[in-house]
Amino acid sequence: MVIQLNTRFKAQGKKPNWCPGCGDHGLLSATIKTVEKKGLLPNEVVITSGIGCSSSFPHWTSAYGIHAIHGRALPPAIGVHMANPELTVISVGGDGDGYGIGGNHFIHTARRNPNITYMVMNNQIYGLTLGQASPSSQLGHITTTTPEGVEEEPINPIALALGAGATFVARAYTRDSKHLQMIIDKAMDHRGFAFVDVISPCVTFNKLNTYEWFNKRVYKLEDHDTSDPSAAFGKAMEWGDKIPLGIFYQIDRPTLNDKNPVTRNKIPVKEPLGFNAQNIDMEEVFDEFR
């Protein structure tokens, strides 16, 4: 069966300003295709982002979007979901935004387990600010801020997500669109915090971790028990000659809304305010705070 897409999620008359060949194009395309195949409408989806090349992502869709400040893609995503859990919430960003400036939000969002999908376009460099080392830059990588090579151990986002308690942890590669769409589809179906580390090469500033470099190393996880945390951690530690793609870990656990007495059985945006504004003297209300 051939599914005809009407590209209703694509922002009409707007084209991404990413460099030709940037991996972010691949995630944008895969996300639009996946969301449309699910039959969602633009007004049923909210996309939040932080700052960086990848974080202009919401501008190239027709869904609701929140372009937040650096490292703060996840807080508004949680707020939107808790206020209206009927909306599909997707949060996106880059490795500098998500693993550096926003690292603390990443950890605590994982442990709180809100029902949102978080995709990080990991290019192992700060692209928007012209090529500084990022938290995931490889040891020895010469950048504008590390002229003698990166000396710090790169962050392991898969292991970090597992340790923080994420209930869905995966990795995909923008070069393989079909596999990427499958991962996004399963992440969106997951009830809880779904994290996807997306390999998205920067063709302008990262001349080390190129498409050619990844093509020789990536492989798909097969016969892997996604319910086994030990197996997931073992695969998470593979990076170098072999880089696994796929779902590392997935379990069911109560979500943030399940545990919150306000949102457990209610949709806050549909609840009455509890007072009749027409019968309230606002001056009296303001006097209480003067």
Which class does domain 24-287 fall in?
Answer: alpha beta
Residue entry with tokens 């995966």: 170
pLDDT for 6 equals 52
What integer is the mean pLDDT of 27-31? 97
The set of residues, in sequence order, having a beta carbon less than 8 Å from that of 287 and lying 6+ positions away, is none
Please state, for a pLDDT cut of 90, what percent of the chain lies above it: 84
Whether the CB-CB separation of 102 and 70 falls below 8 Å is answered with: yes
The model's pTM is: 0.92
What's the rounded Cα separation, in Å, for the pair 17 and 290? 49
The token pair at 34 is 């996946």
> Where does residue 86 rank: exposed (0-12), middle (13-18), buried (19+ CB within 10 A)?
exposed
Strands 218-220 and 243-250: parallel
Listed by start position, the domains of the chain span: 24-287
What integer is the mean pLDDT of 275-287? 74
Confidence of residue 5 (pLDDT cuts 50, 70, 90): very low
pLDDT for 281 equals 78
In whole angstroms, how far apart are CA 224 and each of 40, 105, 155, 248?
31, 29, 23, 8
